[in-house]
């Protein structure tokens, strides 16, 4: 199956994060937000601002050792969130669900929201904005820089 690329700009990420905040507003109020590092940090900051939430915690889960996918390992727990009841967990993307399975086990009472969702991980998310195909690779603005790209017609 061919890999597709979807480039997300800073403006698009901000708009999509605000759209997610609109959906989450009616589900609150929230005790706080747990941002999944690193991809969830920027959407969590936007959402915290929009929901006027001042309590932001983080969880750090490592699933790669260099370039090899390994077993998910929590390197920083969200201690303040308890079992997650009343808390909102934010990430940029759910792909296979590996990270969110760990988060769900640690914070079973939390509401999990992502900006983007792929089919394999979608069942682990309570709220999301945009679904992309499983073979789509999202290029986030912190991972890219502007450069020339060949026209689509040349890629086929």
Pair type for strands 56-65 and 68-76: antiparallel
Q: Of the residues 65, 83, 92, 126, which is catalytic?
A: 92
Q: Give the orientation angle of helix 41-50 with respect to helix 10-25, to 10 degrees.
A: 50
Q: Of the residues 11, 91, 126, 143, which is catalytic?
A: 91
| Other CB atoms within 10 A of residue 7 CB | 14
Q: Check if 91 is active-site.
A: yes
Which residues are marked as active site?
A: 91-92, 95
């Amino acid at each position: 199956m061919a890999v597709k690329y979807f480039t997300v700009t800073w403006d698009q990420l901000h708009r999509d994060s605000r759209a997610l905040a609109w959906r989450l507003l009616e589900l609150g109020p929230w005790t706080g937000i747990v941002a999944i590092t690193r991809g969830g940090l920027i959407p969590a900051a936007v959402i915290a601002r929009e929901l006027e939430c001042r309590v932001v915690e983080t969880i750090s889960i490592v699933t790669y050792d260099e370039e090899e996918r390994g077993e998910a390992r929590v390197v920083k727990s969200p201690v303040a969130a308890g079992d997650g009841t009343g808390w909102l967990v934010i990430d940029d993307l759910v792909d296979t669900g590996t990270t969110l399975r760990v988060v769900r086990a640690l914070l079973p009472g939390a509401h999990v929201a992502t900006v983007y969702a792929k089919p394999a991980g979608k069942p682990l998310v309570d709220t999301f904005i945009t679904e992309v195909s499983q073979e789509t690779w999202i290029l986030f603005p912190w991972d890219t820089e502007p450069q020339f790209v060949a026209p689509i017609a040349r890629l086929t």
